[in-house]
Structure 1
């Protein structure tokens, strides 16, 4: 019984954490479809995972270098 309650509490906490991260990504304009790139997609994902840390000074950034296709 106790295990289920703690599991539910952790699940609710995780959902709220990710929703706050989603809100931060939306406020930064990461969720628009324009200018999609590896850097932008990575920064969007990292912003969502960082959750509330975005509001206490975290500014996650990602630099991607994709290999060029051979010819």
Structure 2
């Protein structure tokens, strides 16, 4: 169990490093925050080590649901 936890932690750290190297973190701070920006950041972190095999996950346009007017 300890080994699995260490592997998952290393996988997510690799994803965070990929986010920084890709410049996705700069997009969050330098532009208007959007659903797509945060989704791309999250997908890149979860993809972890796959980012270094030319697998660049991206999310298209996403829209947050709006509350119904009452």
Listed as ranges, the gaps of 5+ residues in structure 1 are 1-6
- Residue 64 of structure 2: aligned partner: 66
- Residue 9 of structure 1: aligned partner: 3
Instruction: Give the TM-score taking structure 2 as reference length.
Output: 0.81
Distance in 1 (alpha carbons) for counterparts of 2:67 and 2:30: 24
Distance in 2 (alpha carbons) for counterparts of 1:62 and 1:15: 23
Q: C-alpha deviations, 1:19-41, integer Å up to 9, x for none?
A: 00000001111112122211110
Matched pairs, number: 65
Listed as ranges, the gaps of 5+ residues in structure 2 are none
Distance in 2 (alpha carbons) for counterparts of 1:57 and 1:43: 15
User: Highest Rg: 1 or 2?
Assistant: 1
- Residue 3 of structure 1: aligned partner: none
- Residue 45 of structure 1: aligned partner: 42
Distance in 1 (alpha carbons) for counterparts of 2:2 and 2:65: 42
